[in-house]
Amino acid sequence: MSTTAQSSPSHTSPDHFDFAASAAQEMQQDGFDLSPVAGCAAQLAAIIAKPAEEVADGRADLRTLLWSSIDNDSSRDLDQVEWAESVPDSDAIRVRVGIADVAATVAQGSPIDQFAQRQSQTVYTAVRNFPMLPFALSTGLTSLNPHEDRDALVAEFVVAADGSITDRRILAARVQNRAQFAYSRVGSWLSGDADAADLMLTASSALQDQLRLQDQAAQRLRIHRRAAGALDFRRAEAMPVVADGRVMSLDSTLHNRAMDMIEDLMIAANETVATALSAAKRSGLRRVVKNPERWQRIADLVHAASSNLPMPVTLPAQPDAKALNDFLCSEREHDPDHYPDLALAIIKLMGAGEYVLARGDDPDPPGHFALAAQDYAHSTAPNRRFADLVTQRIVHAMLANAPAPYSDDELTAIAEHCNDRDKAARKVERAMLKRAQAQALSHSIGQHYKAIVTGAGPKGTFVRVLQPPVEGMLVHGAAGLDVGDRVNVTLVHTDTAKAFIDFARSDS
């Protein structure tokens, strides 16, 4: 962030900025130890040398199913595959989400596990990723790569016509990913908004039917979650387009239908895992978003945003996710131009999610306000989140009726460490994204933008411009502003090395 106000437009943009080196330095400054744990190389070599089992005892052989995965175009660490079928003599849909069984490969307390716990997650930056697990595992032996037999834990559930879920269960299985798809193509194809001939050429009619059925199940789930009060935020992100280590431009990306589909299926899978652990009275980790502390400010923003309506919206005095989401959905439909800045302000006021201990004997485990979920455990990304790997080990112990692999005190310590590293990782990713955005905007000094205030505190006042959707510090004219206020700003300064994007309040 910048602490020096700029009175005249300027920029600092080196011709050759080393983003990869900067990312490593940022990781170290925020407390990430990138040095290997002793014994990691030997353990990895032993894992690679071990012959693959055909189907281990106790695992269901589900390799004949038409599993597929959908992820970002560049993703190589594939954590999930999906499959669905219509339930005979019913309008229900059975869904199976296969999750890479990393716990079957990486032993608890082993050197690779020690490194994973220390880092706690894979950190993604514009030009370099810092993996929690060795690439030979996360993009290789424990990734659900196409046409490779892999161990998985499968979360199975049945989605009724109204979107409610029944018949949840978890099983260990052997699976094979039949096709790797990308959000960009599948989203367009599902929406019918673009020519998806390339998808048609690579996917059989049976796989296309699979995607449609999964989408149908996901749409039901989303409607049901909305009715229960789950918040539905959709906003653009300005992501850098990088070539040869240089940021060439900013690409504004929006959620599409394929992203929504996978998000809905993953939420249901995570609820399935958490529900199973609660039913078995097994302690575990939950991912929660607590009731927002600044609910009154959210209510004030909603009332102001609806002031032009015949009856302005007044939210209840106490946090009410359903009432908030009813307004958000209506606002997105009736005022799409101003919806993104309102959604962003509310997201900032909601606060970040965090990991907490859910004791096995707790009849009322902590819930997730934003998802309107009482039981929610991160479990679907064990290649890149340590909390998910921990959850897998707890699930394995549950399935085997074995003692708990972690004590409640150990789980509490893991949750606290994961929260600390999650905060640090977001800081690294924001800093590197800001550097990329600063370089991309370095030739736009003096441009005027419409913006919204996203932060106001001792560290300064921050704004996010609407197009391109980037955030920076308001270094002039910040007095009296609070989160959610709309302002006109001028870009006055950028510095790629320092990750500075500075704006001044303007009249135009």
Check residue 15 and give its pLDDT. 52
What is d(CA 67, CA 98) in angstroms, rounded to the nearest whole number?
A: 8
pLDDT tens, the chain, 508 aa long? 333 333 344 444 445 788 889 999 999 999 999 999 999 999 999 999 987 777 777 899 999 999 999 998 778 899 999 999 999 999 999 999 999 999 999 999 999 999 999 999 999 987 789 999 999 999 999 999 999 999 999 999 999 999 999 999 999 999 999 999 999 889 988 988 656 666 655 678 899 999 999 999 999 999 888 887 766 666 566 677 776 666 767 776 677 899 999 999 999 999 999 999 999 999 999 988 777 778 888 899 888 888 877 788 898 888 887 788 788 778 777 777 667 667 777 877 877 788 999 998 887 776 666 665 667 889 999 999 999 999 999 999 999 999 999 999 999 999 999 999 999 999 999 899 889 889 889 889 999 999 988 888 888 999 988 788 889 999 999 998 988 888 999 999 999 999 899 999 997 6
The torsion of the CA quartet 168, 174, 180, 186, rounded to 10 degrees, works out to: -20
In a domain, 491, yes or no: yes
Check residue 255 and give its pLDDT. 77
In a domain, 367, yes or no: no
Residue 461 CB burial class (10 angstroms; 0-12, 13-18, ≥19): buried
In a domain, 224, yes or no: yes
Q: Are residues 60 and 117 in the same domain?
A: yes
- Single residue among 217, 245, 280 that ends a domain in this structure: 280
> Domain residues for 201?
54-280
Residues 6+ positions from 63 with CB-CB distance below 8 Å = 149, 174, 175, 176
Check residue 2 and give its pLDDT. 39
Q: Are residues 63 and 166 in the same domain?
A: yes
The H or E element that residue 332 is part of is helix 321-334
Q: Are residues 60 and 176 in the same domain?
A: yes
Q: Are residues 79 and 1 in the same domain?
A: no
Residue 216 CB burial class (10 angstroms; 0-12, 13-18, ≥19): middle
Report CA-CA distances (Å) from 156 to 112, 257, 272: 29, 22, 8
Q: Are residues 176 and 237 in the same domain?
A: yes
Q: Are residues 95 and 11 in the same domain?
A: no
Q: Are residues 62 and 189 in the same domain?
A: yes
Q: Are residues 5 and 64 in the same domain?
A: no
- Single residue among 280, 315, 350 that ends a domain in this structure: 280
Q: Are residues 84 and 165 in the same domain?
A: yes
Q: Are residues 19 and 69 in the same domain?
A: no
- CATH number of domain containing 20: 2.40.50.140
In a domain, 457, yes or no: yes
Check residue 362 and give its pLDDT. 82
The H or E element that residue 436 is part of is helix 408-441
How many C-beta atoms lie closer than 10 Å to residue 45's C-beta?
Answer: 11
In a domain, 393, yes or no: no
- Provide the domain count of the chain: 2
In a domain, 316, yes or no: no
Q: Are residues 251 and 155 in the same domain?
A: yes
Q: Are residues 120 and 269 in the same domain?
A: yes
**Where are any strands of DSSP class E within 136-236?**
149-159, 165-182
In a domain, 363, yes or no: no
- The residue type at 90: S
In a domain, 483, yes or no: yes
